Amino acid sequence: MSNTSFGSPDSLEGDHVNQPDFEFSDYLIFDDWLDENPTSMPTTQNPVYPTIEVDDFGGSSTSHHQVVLTRDHGSGSLKKDLGEKVAFKTKSEVEILDDGFRWRKYGKKMVKNSPNPRNYYRCSVQNCPVKKRVERDREDPRYVITTYEGIHNHLSPSNI
DNA sequence: CGGATTTGACCTGCGC
DNA sequence: GCGCAGGTCAAATCCG
């Protein structure tokens, strides 16, 4: 897969399009953060869209992450949710960010809401029910919206 | 050879 | 009841 259609000359780092250093587990801290701020707990009635700026990723690039935590745990919900549902909005040229886990793409779909295709990934670990949805922002193709669904059953890919 | 990727088809839920 | 949109599967293909 050598699709480098997004190889824009406006490279953030010049060489490394894949941040090889940062631990994606850092993102998961946001979930804890939410847990400690129940007053900020977003609901289906009052969604909260906190914006977190991370300017120390790998120490070489500045990234802005908008975190949208969705707790669609309504008692009347007919859908069965795998657990947590977290959406990240990340400024990146590539959608395949090295978050430390191994993902296997299992689908691609063109969504009506966006001119860009939406990609579906699943954690390569068999026990892991975690799914990931990646799509580009409709208004800002430079941004990638990543939605995680579920919780990893394993500590880290290194522990497989 | 094994694992990952691709792409179209199929299935399900929801709205009208 | 029908159509649309989103989500998932699975066979074929490619790469390391």
Strand C nucleotides with an atom less than 7 Å from a protein beta carbon: 4-10
Residues 10-69 of A with CB under 7 A from strand B: none
CA–CA gap between residue A114 and residue A15 (Å, rounded): 29
Which residues fall within 8 angstroms of residue A94, CB to CB, at 6 or more apart?
A6, A17, A18, A144
CA–CA gap between residue A150 and residue A148 (Å, rounded): 7
Q: pLDDT (tens digit, 9 = 90+) per residue, A20-60?
A: 333 344 343 344 333 433 343 444 333 344 444 343 333 33
Residues 125-144 of A with CB under 7 A from strand C: 131, 133
Residue A105 pLDDT more than 90? yes
Is the CB of A3 within 7 Å of strand B? yes
Which pLDDT score is estimated for A119? 93
Q: Where are the domains of chain A?
A: 85-149
CA distances from A109 to A4, A21, A113, A128 (A): 19, 30, 11, 23
Q: pLDDT (tens digit, 9 = 90+) per residue, A51-77?
A: 443 433 333 344 455 555 544 443 333
Q: What's the Å distance between residue A108 CA and nucleotide C1 C1'?
A: 29
The pTM (predicted TM-score) of the whole model is: 0.64
Q: What's the Å distance between residue A110 CA and nucleotide C13 C1'?
A: 22
Helix or strand or coil: residue A53?
Answer: strand
Which pLDDT score is estimated for A118? 92
Fold of A85-149: N-terminal domain of TfIIb (2.20.25)
Give the pLDDT band of residue A106 (cuts 50, 70, 90): very high
